[in-house]
Each structure stands twice: as structure tokens, then as C-alpha cells.
């Protein structure tokens, strides 16, 4: 009789082999009843020998008890987003841009369907899946390891003896149409809420706090790229990566092709369009990538988007419905946006009851009347918009849309600036709607990241006159908060703590949080790196602002106008007085630790963990909470534990507190 340890090992290998044949190759070698017998025997043996259970066993896909929240994961290599195009001319223009940079045409492209799902990053170390994370904002995602482990198409252990020591495999988790329809049929039958569309089904399933729920959702994955990888795997092309990860047991889309030249790309796109309805899963376009990694490196990236890839987006679906009313919303910058209220209609996989009309000129151009039948277009598969009126269906006596002359929220006379199509309320923060929007933007994750300050709470704070501007947030007291609806003592303490923690920020985040018109995250970073601190930016002239990458006359004018406004300057001063601070930014090139990843562990006697983190960030380092093969150095204080042990195993340089102080002293003065 075979000893349990040996039999368990053999059974795991057999089960992994047959799972790969079934889920990845779609070519099962044995009938289901035989596979079930193998699997059940493995379960039986592991149950009888719990000390032999390992995390990558095929029996361990359904994870532990529910988590209270998802931890943050800092991506070692950013998960970039793609530029988009909608026509052959735009693809040609993209290829021409690449050719100008390279001095020659791109010779080889990888073409693949653009899966409409959720991007994830899977980290394998020594072939074993150790972490799964969402894309998040591209830099920071959420740890969903327990959930991705429940998906059969994701191998818990890569196959083969040539697997890299450490590799990130990136993919798109999606819900196949058959599984989507079957799940919804069961949900309706059981009186439960069905999914709106497969993508929302996939996203919601991955964010379940209980992995046992995820395990019962019909999810799958297509792997499409490699992130950070140890140097024992050095492919020259993207096609080599796809071939390798397919060999190691990952699902790669069968419709991926390597083609040569512009015409072949267009032919591929046209063919996938024709096959779209029969794929069995939803796609929203095609991704084109330069195949050669040397070419990718020469082309580089701009504003978090690679120049070497582009996403061709299919035209969004269009349907007709009836406008029942038009409302006017006030945005953060005072812009008045007309919004059409619609008879609900299903378009692009979503039930839509509102659609943007963009601006007053668009209402006039379309000659929209209440009761009109209109064509609704789901632009970019995200924002529904009214694109035309079906005049032949206009009811008798249909009334024109009354265009407001005053702000619908505060009653201030509206203004339209020359050369702008947008009508604005000039009241600024005295307009309740603008105040609420400005505070919501200020508190957002990409700005000051004030956890717990949601829309409903902001409504209460503003409506009860507790907050008149963003600086007032830092004057809130516990007694102010506990008097609000659904705010207990614990919630109030958590919000006050979050406000205090938000004071430790970066200059880029603070600039973005101010809500200057046309200044997005990328522009805020560029301004921070050019001026280094807030005061030089506040005093900058137009000529100096023009020197910043991606800053043109409009943005420069908006920045200048913002800081010339007395009220804005007072709010900025009040925020600084409240304790909001950031490290001075030195140019990327001059920061000695730029591109490095550091980890702090244990207790430092000479400074707080926050101070150490800030000083490292000032030197350009990224400071993370976990040790990985991509960690550059670890600072170990007193009572350092598991992180120090892991650093030693991975042979990552470790600095004592004394060494760390010496390092800071020599580099901060440089």
C-alpha cells in the first residue's frame, strides 16, 4: 500500500494535468467520472492528513473565511492603460507616429481581442501563485488572492521545469456568456438580483469578501502579458511571452495572431468584428501591440500609456427611446450640464435612464423637445449620450427645453465666456452644488484620499453649514460628526483619523486636489516635478508654466487664474495651517533613489515610520509594505520580524537603523 505523502503527490500531479487538459486545452483525456474519482481520493487523503495540505493543492481553490477588507498592492511595474481609436485612419496615424519615433516602420504586430472584463496581475514565485491583484489605478491595486484562487482556469502552480523564479502574469478575468445567462436564470428563479452585464458580473464576483461566493461564479481568464519577471526569463518578443505562459498552463486567447503591417491589422480587426457574436464572451475591440520588446522600449510611454500599443474600440451600440425631461446639473467648476431623463432602455449591456447632452449649444443644435424620440449612443461603452432626434416621431405640440438663465442650485446669473461652449455658474464655493463637488473631488482617492468621506456625508456637512470649503474639513470636531445621521462615535473617530492621515500627502496629490480646471493627475505630477513646491507654482508666470510638459495656454491660464484668486489663496493657506504638508519634489533625474523600492520593518528609535517613509520618498524611492524579489533594500528597526526574514531568504540588502541614518545623511545633502 502506497504511503499517503507519495500518493497525495502523485494525485496532485494527475489532477493538475487533467485540469490543464480540460480548462486550458479544452481537450480532456479522461471522462468526468474518472476525474471526479481522482479528485475525491485526493480530498479524502488530505482530510485524513491535514499536515500534508499545501496552498497550491488543487483542492484549495475555495479559500478561507471572508475578509473584512482588501489590502492594497503596489504594482512593481505599472499596469498601463491604452490609447484608443475608432477608425482605420487613426490606426494609420498611430503607426505613422511610431515610425517617426523609430525612423522605420514597425514590422511585426500582435493582435488580440480586447476582452471586456477585469484586469488582474498574478504573481508566481517558484512557480506557485502567491498573489492576485486588481489593476486599481495602475499603480496600486487590491489584493484579491483568495478570490482568484477559486478560478479553475488560473493555475495555482505553473507547469514545466523552465518556469522563472518570479514572474507576474497579467490577464483579463471575464464571465463567459453561457455562464452569465445561466447564472441570471437561476438568480431570477430564486428571486435574487441578476447581473446587468458580464463585465459587472465579473467585477462584482472578484470583489466578494467571501471567496466561497466567488467560487460559485462562472469566471474565466485570458492571460495577455507579463509584468515584472526575474532575469532567468528574457524573451525578445511579446509572442514569445504568450507562447511561454501558455506552455506553463495559462489560458491565452486562441484568436491572438502575429501579423505584418497595417493592412494585416485592418484585416484582423474586420475578421474579429465578423466573429464577435460567436466568440462566447464579450469583447469591446481589438488590441494592437508592437511585437518586438526592443521596439517597445524605444517607443516608450507617455502619461501612463504605452506608445507601442493601441486599442481599437468598436462603435458603441445605439438605441432609440423617449426624453421625458431635461435637468441641469452643476459641476465642480460651475459648468452647467444638461442631462436628459429617458424612458429606461437597454444599451451596450446596461439599462440607461439618463444621458448627457454635454452643453447648452448641443441642446440647441439637436433642437431637442420634451417627448422627442432620440437615439442614445453609449460612447466609449461608458457614458450614454443623446446623438440625434427622430423628428418624424415628434409628438404634436412638443415643447422646447427651457434654457436656464440662473444657476439651478444657487440662483446666480449664469455666464458664458467667449470661445467656450460651456455655460457656468460664477458663484464658486458659495454655490452649494459646486462646494459639494469640490469637496468630493478633494477627498477622492487620487487627491487627498480621505477614507469615509462619501457623497451622503458631504451633503450633510454642507447642508448643515459645517463645511464651507475644503479647509473646514480639518476643523471638524467629534461632536459635530456624531450629531449627523448614521454617524456613531466610532465612525466619527475613523473619519477624524483619516483626515489627520491625509495631511501627509504629496505635492502632486495636493495640486490635483485643489480642483484647478483642466489639471488632471498627470498634469499635477508634471507641475510638481517642475516647480518642486507650492509657493514657486503659485508665483509662476505664464512663460514658466508653458515650460511644463503638456501644459498649453488653456491650462496655464487656468493655473494662473486659480492662484490669482484671493479666496483660493486663503483656502490654500488655511489647509497648510491645518497641517497639510508634502515633501519638496526634486527633479526625477536628480533623485538618487528614483526607481528603487524600499521596505520599512520594525521600530525605529530616531524617527517615526511616517518620517522615514517621507524622507525616502523625497529621495525618489517607492516605499511598500511587503518584501518581494523586486525590493531594493529593507530598513530593519527593533523587533523586525517576518519581513526581515523574507529579505534574508531573498538576499535583499538590509540596513540597520544606524546604516539607514548614514545613508540619509549622505544622500539628502547631495
Q: Please identify every residue annotated as catalytic.
A: 114
* DSSP single-letter state for residue 491: H
Buried b vs exposed e over 478-513: b needs ≥16 C-beta within 10 Å?
Answer: eebbeebeebeeeebeebbebbeebeebbbbbbbbb
Query: If you write DSSP's letter for every residue of 59-118 in order, what string do you get?
Result: GG-S-SSPPSSPPEEE-SS-----EEE-SHHHHHHHHHHHHHHHTS----EEEEEEE-SE
Helix (H, G, I), strand (E, B) or coil at 170: strand
Element (H, E) at 184: helix 177-189
* Residue ranges in 377-520 assigned as alpha helix (H): 432-443, 455-463, 478-482, 489-502, 507-513
Cell numbers describing residue 554: 488653456
Q: Which residues contact 119 (CB under 8 A, 6 or more apart)?
A: 79, 134, 135, 170, 171, 172
- Bridge partners of 225, per DSSP, are 170
Q: Please report where in the chains the cell 460612447 appears, as a residue.
A: 379
Spatial separation of the C-alpha atoms in residues 545 and 551, rounded to whole Å: 7
Q: Strand (E) positions, 348-489?
A: 350-356, 373-379, 383-389, 415-416, 423-424
CB within 8 A of 132, min separation 6: which ones?
A: 120, 121, 122, 123, 143, 144, 145, 147, 148, 149, 154
Question: What gap in Å lies between CA 118 and CA 175, rounded to an integer?
Answer: 10
Distance of alpha carbon 582 from alpha carbon 166, whole angstroms: 35
Chain CA centroid to CA 484, Å: 32
Farthest-apart Cα atoms in the chain, separation: 90
The CA angle 269-273-274, to the nearest 5 degrees, is: 120
Amino acid at each position: 500500500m502506497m504511503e499517503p505523502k507519495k500518493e497525495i503527490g502523485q494525485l496532485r500531479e494527475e489532477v493538475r494535468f487533467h485540469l490543464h487538459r480540460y480548462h486550458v486545452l479544452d481537450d480532456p483525456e479522461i471522462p468526468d467520472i474518472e476525474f471526479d474519482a481522482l479528485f475525491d481520493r485526493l480530498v479524502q487523503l488530505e482530510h485524513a492528513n491535514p499536515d500534508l495540505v499545501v496552498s497550491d493543492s488543487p483542492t484549495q481553490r475555495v479559500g478561507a473565511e471572508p475578509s473584512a477588507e482588501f489590502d492594497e498592492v503596489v504594482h512593481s511595474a505599472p499596469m498601463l492603460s491604452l490609447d484608443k481609436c475608432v477608425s482605420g485612419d487613426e490606426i494609420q496615424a498611430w503607426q505613422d507616429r511610431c515610425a517617426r519615433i523609430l525612423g522605420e516602420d514597425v514590422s511585426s504586430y500582435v493582435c488580440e481581442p480586447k476582452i471586456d472584463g477585469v484586469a488582474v496581475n498574478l504573481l508566481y514565485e517558484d512557480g506557485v501563485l502567491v498573489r492576485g491583484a486588481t489593476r486599481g489605478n495602475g499603480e496600486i491595486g487590491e489584493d484579491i488572492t483568495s478570490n482568484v484562487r477559486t478560478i479553475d482556469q488560473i493555475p495555482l502552480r505553473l507547469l514545466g521545469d523552465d518556469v522563472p523564479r518570479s514572474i507576474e502574469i497579467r490577464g483579463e478575468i471575464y464571465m463567459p456568456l453561457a455562464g452569465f445567462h445561466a447564472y441570471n436564470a437561476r438568480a431570477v428563479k430564486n428571486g435574487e438580483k441578476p447581473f446587468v452585464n458580464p463585465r459587472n458580473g465579473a467585477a462584482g464576483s472578484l470583489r466578494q469578501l467571501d471567496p466561497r461566493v466567488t467560487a460559485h461564479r462562472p469566471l474565466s481568464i485570458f492571460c495577455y502579458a507579463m509584468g515584472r519577471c526575474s532575469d532567468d526569463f528574457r524573451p525578445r518578443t511579446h509572442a514569445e511571452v504568450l507562447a511561454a505562459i501558455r506552455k506553463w498552463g495559462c489560458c491565452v486567447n486562441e484568436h491572438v495572431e502575429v501579423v505584418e503591417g497595417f493592412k494585416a491589422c485592418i484585416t484582423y480587426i474586420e475578421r474579429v468584428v465578423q466573429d464577435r457574436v460567436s466568440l462566447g464572451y464579450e469583447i469591446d475591440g481589438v488590441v494592437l501591440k508592437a511585437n518586438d520588446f526592443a521596439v517597445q522600449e524605444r517607443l516608450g510611454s507617455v502619461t501612463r500609456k504605452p506608445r507601442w500599443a493601441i486599442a481599437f474600440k468598436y462603435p458603441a451600440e445605439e438605441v432609440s427611446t423617449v426624453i421625458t425631461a431635461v435637468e441641469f446639473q452643476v459641476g465642480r467648476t460651475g459648468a452647467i450640464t444638461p442631462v436628459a431623463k429617458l424612458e429606461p432602455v437597454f444599451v451596450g449591456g446596461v439599462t440607461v435612464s439618463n444621458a448627457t447632452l454635454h452643453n447648452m449649444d448641443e441642446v440647441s443644435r439637436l433642437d431637442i423637445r420634451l417627448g422627442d424620440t432620440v437615439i442614445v449612443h453609449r460612447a466609449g461603452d461608458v457614458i450614454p449620450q443623446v446623438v440625434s432626434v427622430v423628428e418624424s416621431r415628434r409628438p404634436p405640440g412638443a415643447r422646447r427645453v427651457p434654457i436656464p438663465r440662473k444657476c439651478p442650485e444657487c440662483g446666480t446669473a449664469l455666464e458664458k465666456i467667449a470661445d467656450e461652449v460651456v455655460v457656468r455658474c460664477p458663484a464658486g464655493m458659495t454655490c452649494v452644488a459646486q462646494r459639494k463637488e469640490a469637496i468630493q473631488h478633494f477627498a477622492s482617492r487620487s487627491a487627498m484620499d480621505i477614507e469615509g468621506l462619501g457623497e451622503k456625508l458631504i451633503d450633510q456637512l454642507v447642508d448643515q453649514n459645517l463645511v464651507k470649503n475644503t479647509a473646514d474639513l480639518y476643523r471638524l470636531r467629534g461632536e459635530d460628526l456624531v450629531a449627523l445621521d448614521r454617524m456613531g462615535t466610532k465612525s466619527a473617530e475613523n473619519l477624524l483619523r483619516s483626515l489627520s492621515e491625509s495631511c501627509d500627502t504629496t505635492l502632486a496629490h495636493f495640486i490635483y486636489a485643489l480642483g484647478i480646471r483642466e489639471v488632471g493627475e498627470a498634469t499635477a505630477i508634471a507641475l510638481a516635478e517642475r516647480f518642486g513646491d507650492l509657493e514657486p507654482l503659485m508665483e509662476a508666470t505664464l512663460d514658466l508654466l508653458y515650460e511644463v510638459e503638456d501644459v498649453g495656454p488653456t491650462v496655464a491660464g487656468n493655473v494662473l487664474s486659480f492662484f490669482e484668486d484671493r479666496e483660493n489663496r486663503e483656502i490654500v493657506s488655511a489647509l497648510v495651517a491645518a497641517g497639510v504638508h508634502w515633501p519638496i519634489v526634486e527633479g526625477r533625474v536628480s533623485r538618487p533613489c528614483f526607481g528603487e523600492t524600499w521596505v520599512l520593518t520594525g521600530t525605529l528609535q530616531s524617527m517615526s515610520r511616517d518620517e522615514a517613509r517621507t524622507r525616502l520618498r523625497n529621495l525618489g524611492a517607492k516605499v511598500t509594505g511587503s518584501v518581494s524579489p523586486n525590493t531594493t533594500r529593507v530598513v530593519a528597526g527593533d523587533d523586525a520580524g517576518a519581513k526581515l526574514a523574507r529579505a534574508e531568504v531573498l538576499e535583499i540588502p538590509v540596513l540597520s537603523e544606524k546604516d539607514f541614518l548614514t545613508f540619509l545623511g549622505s544622500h539628502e545633502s547631495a
